[in-house]
Amino acid sequence: MFKYTIKRVLLMVPTLFGAACLVFFLLRMIPGDVCELRMAGEGGYVDEDAIKTCQHDLGMDRPKFVQFVDFITGFAVFDLGESMWTGKAITHELGLRFQLSLQIAIMATLVAVIIAIPLGTISAIRQDTWLDYAVRTFSIAGIAIPSFWLGIMIILGLLISTQAWFGEPWMPPIEYVSPLEDPISNMVQLIWPAVATGYRYSAVATRMTRSALLEVLREDYVRTARAKGLLERIIINRHALKNSMLPVITVIGIEFAFLMGGLVVTEQVFNLNGVGKLFVESVQNHDYTMTQALVMLVATVFVITNFVVDLFYAWLDPRIRYS
């Protein structure tokens, strides 16, 4: 297990290096740059000399290979440089936004797990009953309903219900508050986007739990356990459910990594200044350094999440042994 862990950690290096090569060179194939956008935004005549001066100040006139080496070495020591658009340090720009997106991702994952595993288990155990049909309808609705639309409905529901009950409309606070400063205000603000995202997320995990558990329940060792007279509850909890969690854990891990940068519209609905919103702004402004840092951040989250999922495999299934 120790050798496997070291091997996987070492394999992260070429994976991230390949991602860095792709994002660096593909970004520079896009027409236009941040200096041209700045000059165009100021209006009037665009001076070529001013554009060249701006590019020189930002280091864009240097050879691509030199820029790439600086990017790689900076990423290795977590010195991501400065934003070409705002001029501020990228680590400063990412600080609060990453904390917000990470908290939403963790909360949405917890909501999804709390919903998906019990409902998926019930649906598999009560196959082709009204409970099964109800759970399947619930999960299909979660796949069909966009999380941002559900977020809008949640906000409207809060406004209408509080107006009817208390005579004054209420909606979640707009300004982000760290959980270390005021955990109650933080939870009041982020629980609703977490529920909206987690429901959409749980729909996929519910269907995966159901299908995986149904497959395991047809295995020979489950029939043997039933023939020995074991209680159905013990068979489900101790044998079937644990062995059916491998594909579910995979789905949960992939979705968690996706949530770190894929909640652009949901963040807009709840007015959250997270990583997804920063991603869109950096691409629109041709901010190469910020976009590179965000892509590498998401890639790193994916790589680490896949690594943790692989370690969970060995814990869930004793038949798996890594060498």
291 pLDDT band, cuts 50/70/90, is confident
258 pLDDT band, cuts 50/70/90, is confident
The string of pLDDT tens digits covering residues 305-315 is 888 888 777 77
Lowest mean pLDDT among 71-85, 97-111, 114-128, 165-179: 165-179
The string of pLDDT tens digits covering residues 196-207 is 888 988 888 998
133 pLDDT band, cuts 50/70/90, is very high
319 pLDDT band, cuts 50/70/90, is low
- The answer on pLDDT for 41 being more than 60 is no
Contacts of 19 (CB under 8 A, 6+ apart): 295, 296, 299
More confident residue, 39 or 95: 95
pLDDT for the residue numbered 224: 85
Report the pLDDT averaged over residues 141-147.
Answer: 85
Percentage of the chain with pLDDT > 70? 93
Q: Enter the pTM of the model.
A: 0.82
Residue 277: which of 185, 180, 176, 207 has the closest Cα? Answer: 176
Output the six-digit token pair for 21.
Answer: 């090569």
Residues 6/13, Cβ–Cβ less than 8 Å: no
d(CA 33, CA 217): 57
Percentage of the chain with pLDDT > 90? 4
- The answer on pLDDT for 323 being more than 60 is no
Report the pLDDT averaged over residues 9-30.
Answer: 85
Per-residue DSSP letters for 15-69? HHHHHHHHHHHHHTTSS--HHHHHHHHH-S---HHHHHHHHHHTTTTS-HHHHHH
pLDDT for the residue numbered 173: 74
b/e code 78-102 from CB counts within 10 Å (16+ = b): eebbbbbbeeeebeebbeebbbbbb
d(CA 117, CA 247): 12
Q: Out of 13-27, 70-84, 251-265, give the one with best mean pLDDT.
A: 13-27
Report the pLDDT averaged over residues 186-215.
Answer: 88
CATH topology of domain 94-275: MetI-like fold (1.10.3720)
List the chain domain ranges. 94-275
pLDDT for the residue numbered 266: 79
3 state SS for 200-262 = HHHHHHHHHHHHHHHHHHCCHHHHHHHHCCCCHHHHHHHHHHHHCHHHHHHHHHHHHHHHCCC
Quick one: residue 322, left, alpha or beta (phi over 0 = left, psi -120 to 50 = alpha)? beta
Residue where the block lists tokens 């609705």? 141
pLDDT for the residue numbered 47: 67
Report the pLDDT averaged over residues 254-270.
Answer: 80
Residue 109: which of 264, 211, 255, 263 has the closest Cα? Answer: 255
Q: What count of other Cβ atoms lies within 10 Å of the Cβ of residue 111? A: 19
d(CA 15, CA 24): 14
